[in-house]
Amino acid sequence: MNRVKAFLFPEINRRFLIRVGLVAAVAFVCFTWVLIPFRVHGHSMAPTYRNGDFNFCNRLSYLYSLPSRHDVVAIRYAGTRVMLLKRILALEGETVEFRQGKLYVDDKPVSEPYVTAPYDWDLEPRTVEAGHVYVVGDNRRVPMLTHDFGQTPITRIIGAPLW
């Protein structure tokens, strides 16, 4: 009983205050620069990520490597407060297009197991510029004109969802 009481109501001394200060500093650094918490707003990544889901953006994901095709990434839209969550479909120098609801990269069909509903998008071929990737959301049931997608500079990718 005394151990429980000591745990719940610790003696406030110098050692306790230093410990609390260190925990607060580590939490501040971690959740400000390494694991940025975010909530998904919108349906563009459904069913992979649903509207209202909570997650963390892992800023260390691409510290030593570049993102690759099919990665889900967080793209800085306005600072770190507004981020878009999208999937990479094509890398720099590749040509991407949609034909009758099918994705083609460099004129080869690409399997997309994360897209669960049929869609009818058509998009003329376009080549991804150097230093850019081509991103689209997983929810293709809605008309193409309502989606935010396209080329984005790799420098705007700030990380990947933790889960």
- Structure-block tokens of residue 161: 């969802």
68 assigned to active site: no
Which of the following is catalytic: 44, 61, 65, 111?
A: 44
- Structure-block tokens of residue 157: 């990718």
In three-state secondary structure terms, 78 is strand
Task: Assess contact for 69 and 94: CB atoms under 8 A.
Answer: no
CA angle, residues 94, 96, 63, in degrees to nearest 5? 55
Catalytic residue list: 44
